[in-house]
Structure 1
Amino acid sequence: MSDNTTLKVSDYLREPLILLNTNFNSTDELFNGVNDIAFAEGFVTDQFLPKIKAREATFPTGLQLEDRGVAIPHTDADTINKEFVAVVVNQQPISFKRMDDPDSTTPVKVAFVLGLNQPHAQLEMLQSLMGIIQDSSILDKLEAATDQKDIQQILN
Structure 2
Amino acid sequence: MTEKMKLQDYITPKLIFVNEHFDSKGALFQKIYQESLDSGYVHKSFLEKIIEREKNFPTGLQLETMGVAIPHTDAECIKKEFVAIVTTDPVTFVSMEDFNQSVAAEIAFVLGLKEPHAQLEMLQSLMGLLQNSKVLTQMREAGSADDIITIVKTNNI
TM-score by length of 2: 0.95
Aligned mate of 1:148, from 120, 142, 145 = 145
| SS of residue paired to 1:78 | helix
Displacement after TM superposition at 1:67 (Å): 2.1
Displacement after TM superposition at 1:4 (Å): 3.5
Aligned to 2:37: 39
Aligned mate of 2:8, from 10, 20, 24 = 10
Displacement after TM superposition at 1:5 (Å): 1.5
Q: Counterparts of 1:3-152 in structure 2 under 5 Å?
A: 3-90=1-88, 92-152=89-149
Displacement after TM superposition at 1:83 (Å): 0.4
Displacement after TM superposition at 1:37 (Å): 0.2
How large is the RMSD of aligned CA atoms in angstroms? 0.9
TM-score by length of 1: 0.95
Q: Deviations over 1:104-123 (max 9, x none)?
A: 10111100000000230000
Displacement after TM superposition at 1:13 (Å): 0.2
Task: For structure 1, list consecutive stretches of 5 or more residues without a partner in the other structure.
Answer: none
Q: Deviations over 1:59-93 (max 9, x none)?
A: 00001111211000000000000000000001x20
Identity between Structure 1 and Structure 2 (%): 47
How far apart in 2 are the matches of 1:72 and 1:155? 16
Displacement after TM superposition at 1:25 (Å): 1.5
How far apart in 2 are the matches of 1:86 and 1:140? 17
Task: For structure 2, list consecutive stretches of 5 or more residues without a partner in the other structure.
Answer: none
Displacement after TM superposition at 1:154 (Å): 1.0
Displacement after TM superposition at 1:23 (Å): 1.0
| SS of residue paired to 2:16 | strand
After the TM superposition, which parts of structure 1 deviate over 3 Å for at least 4 consecutive aligned residues?
none
